[in-house]
């Protein structure tokens, strides 16, 4: 039923095997030693308030009620639950609408956001975010592609793989377009906090939380850098959250130790966010300089973003990735994001580490 996800098959084990990881986009922090379970940075944080559960901490960050939050085992789990709830629709036993469900997904885009709804039985349609427009989200393109059969429209903000960040006004218009057709808008916001914050919280990027018929997903992985904890969430109206919760009964996956670690991280989110934004600023500068100094590369480095989608003048994405891998440098080929001519370059690790990796990657490109 569920198709293979080629990107996840390909990336498995590679970040750990690479000497220089320029493929992983999360702002990765130090991991526990072989016999430990607590990330070193969390071990130094104060204990959270006793009554501060994860739902409440996330709700406070977005200025919503806890009933609007469902805590999940990471953003992938949150996206699965959101898509399943949207495809299922309001009434599980309502047989009045016999049309096959459809899901409309941005292109280029992140492969799992196509494969998951397909595995859930939906027909997939696509709308373009063209490179000639800077991969901008255009609600008019959604309006031209959405039909009455569409149950969910799926976008990322920041866009994965380009890094384009959409303002709330544009997302609100996309939400209206989806709502007019009776569809939900799913906004994966794992990269939205990259760059300058709209507010003081850890998740202060432009958010779609609170817009009609809109579901937002996020996690502790990309911006705060605690991927090993495997805690994420979705935020939506309370009725949608309850539908997603009913789906979650079939795929429960959150451990109590993960919840405890998430409570500690979220209780110090402002402090952790400051550290993440400092790394984003430094690494974005490295990326922008590297791309600007190379005549053989094309592609934009978006403000405040540590990753981008680039093309080489004489090699496609697989050729660039394979040549880099021969030097133990991890680069992600663009075929996993609907464009085989390009590759995604991501500077998520500590600045000194990625600077060394860029120097080696530069010699790889010189030989192509």
Is 350 contained in some domain?
Answer: yes
pLDDT of residue 190: 97
Query: Prior bond to 207 cis, omega within 30?
Result: no
Percent of the chain at pLDDT > 70 equals 97
Q: Report pLDDT for 197.
A: 80
| CB distance 216 to 235 below 8 Å | yes
Q: What are phi and psi of 309, to 5 degrees?
A: -120, 115
Residue 36 has pLDDT above 90, yes or no: no
Residue 6 lies in a domain: no
Checking DSSP bridges between strand 329-330 and strand 20-21, what pairing results, if any?
A: parallel
- Residues 275 and 263 grouped into a single domain: no
Full domain range(s) for residue 290? 15-31+271-363
- If asked whether residues 196 and 280 sit together in one domain, one would say no
Q: What is the pLDDT of residues 142-170, one digit of tens each?
A: 999 999 999 999 999 999 999 999 999 99
Residues 37-71 pLDDT 10s: 899 999 989 988 877 899 999 999 999 999 999 99
**Predicted structure pTM score:** 0.96
Q: Is 368 inside a domain boundary?
A: no
226 and 301 within one domain? no
Residue 103 and residue 166 in one domain: yes
Q: What local confidence, expressed as pLDDT, does residue 92 receive?
A: 42
CA 327 distance to own-chain centroid = 28
Which one has a higher pLDDT value, 5 or 202?
5
Query: Last residue of some domain: 203, 234, 267?
Result: 267
What pLDDT is stored for residue 228 in this prediction?
Answer: 93
Total structural domains within the chain: 2
pLDDT reading at 224 higher than 70: yes
- Kindly state whether residue 8 falls inside one of the protein's structural domains: no
CATH code of 342's domain:
3.90.1150.10
CA atoms within 13 Å, Cβ hemisphere of 342: 19
What token pair was written down for 34?
């072989």
Q: Do 178 and 205 belong to one domain?
A: yes
Within this chain, do residues 358 and 226 fall inside the same structural domain, yes or no? no
C-alpha to C-alpha distance for 108 and 128, rounded to whole angstroms: 7
Q: Give residue 96's pLDDT band: very low, low, confident or very high (50, 70, 90).
A: very low
Region 221-226: mean pLDDT is 96
Label residue 38 exposed, middle or buried (CB < 10 Å: 0-12, 13-18, 19+). middle
Average pLDDT over residues 108-112: 97
- Segment 83-92 mean pLDDT: 81
Burial letters 304-343, b for 16+ CB under 10 A, else e: bbbbbbbbbeebbbeebbebbbeeebbbbbbbbbbbebbb
Q: Looking at the structure, tell me whether residues 250 and 276 fall in a common domain.
A: no
Is 2 a member of any domain? no
Alpha-carbon span 25 to 307, nearest angstrom: 7
Boundary (domain end) residue, out of 232, 252, 267: 267
Alpha carbons 203 and 224: distance in angstroms, whole number: 9
Cβ neighbours of residue 160 under 8 Å, at least 6 residues apart? 25, 109, 110, 188, 191, 337
Cα–Cα distance for residue pair 195/172, rounded to 1 Å = 21
User: From CA 160, how far away is CA 337, in angstroms rounded?
Assistant: 8
Q: Compute the mean pLDDT over every residue in the chain, rounded to the nearest whole number.
A: 94
User: What integer is the mean pLDDT of 168-187?
Assistant: 97
- 365 near 296, Cβ under 8 Å? yes
Helical H segments across 225-335, by residue range: 238-248, 256-267, 269-292, 317-325
Backbone φ, ψ for residue 266 (5° rounding): -70, -25
Question: 92 or 114: whose pLDDT is higher?
Answer: 114
What average pLDDT does range 196-208 have in this prediction?
79
**pLDDT attached to residue 201:** 65
Beta strands in the chain (DSSP E): 20-21, 69-72, 102-107, 123-128, 150-156, 184-188, 214-219, 232-235, 297-298, 307-312, 329-330, 332-333, 342-346
CA-wise closest residue to 325 among 335, 336, 317: 317
Least confident of 4-13, 124-133, 134-143, 202-211: 202-211
Contact indicator for 23, 317 with CB cutoff of 8 Å: no
Give yes or no for a contact between 244 and 39, defined as CB atoms under 8 angstroms apart. Answer: no
The whole-angstrom separation of Cα 123 and Cα 96 is 19
* 204 and 340 co-located in one domain: no
Say if 171 falls within a structural domain. yes
CATH number for the domain that contains residue 212: 3.40.640.10
Instruction: Give the pLDDT confidence of 298-311 residue by residue, as tens digits.
Output: 999 999 999 999 99
**Separation in Å, CA 303 to CA 193, 284, 335:** 12, 8, 24
- Read off the DSSP letter of residue 32: P
- Is 7 within the bounds of a domain? no
Per-residue pLDDT at 182: 95
% of the chain with per-residue pLDDT over 90: 89
* Residues 75/190, Cβ–Cβ less than 8 Å: yes
pLDDT for residue 35: 84
Domain end call among 267, 292, 316: 267
Do 166 and 312 belong to one domain?
Answer: no
């Amino acid at each position: 039923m569920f198709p293979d996800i080629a990107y996840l098959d390909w990336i498995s084990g590679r970040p750990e095997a690479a000497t220089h990881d320029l493929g992983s986009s999360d702002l990765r922090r130090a991991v526990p030693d072989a016999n430990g379970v607590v990330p070193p940075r969390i071990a130094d944080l104060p204990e959270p308030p006793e009554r501060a559960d994860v739902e409440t901490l996330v709700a406070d960050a977005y200025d919503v009620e806890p009933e609007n939050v469902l805590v999940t085992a990471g953003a992938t789990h949150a996206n699965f639950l959101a898509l399943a709830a949207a495809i299922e629709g309001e009434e599980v036993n309502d047989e009045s609408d016999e049309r096959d469900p459809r899901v409309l997904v941005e292109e280029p885009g992140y492969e799992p956001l196509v494969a998951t709804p397909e595995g859930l039985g939906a027909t997939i349609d696509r709308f373009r975010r063209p490179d000639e427009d800077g991969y901008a989200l255009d609600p008019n393109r959604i309006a031209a592609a959405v039909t009455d059969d569409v149950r969910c429209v799926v976008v990322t903000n920041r866009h994965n793989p380009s890094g384009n960040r959409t303002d709330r006004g544009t997302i609100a218009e996309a939400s209206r377009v989806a709502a007019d057709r009776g569809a939900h808008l799913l906004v994966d916001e794992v990269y939205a906090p990259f760059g300058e914050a709209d507010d003081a919280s850890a998740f202060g990027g432009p958010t779609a939380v609170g817009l009609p018929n809109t579901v937002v997903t996020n996690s502790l992985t990309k911006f705060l850098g605690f991927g090993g904890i495997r805690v994420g969430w979705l935020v939506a109206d309370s009725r949608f959250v309850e539908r997603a919760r009913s789906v979650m009964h079939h795929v429960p996956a959150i451990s109590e130790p993960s919840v405890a670690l998430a409570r500690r991280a979220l209780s110090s989110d402002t402090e952790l966010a400051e550290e993440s934004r400092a790394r984003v600023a430094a690494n974005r500068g490295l990326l922008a300089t590297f791309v600007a100094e190379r005549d053989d590369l094309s592609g934009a480095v978006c403000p405040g973003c540590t990753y981008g989608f680039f093309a080489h003048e004489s090699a496609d994405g697989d050729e660039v990735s394979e040549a880099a891998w021969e030097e133990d440098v991890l680069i992600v080929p663009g075929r996993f994001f609907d464009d085989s001519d390009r590759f995604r370059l991501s500077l998520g690790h500590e600045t000194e580490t990625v600077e060394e990796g860029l120097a080696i990657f530069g010699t790889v490109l010189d030989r192509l």
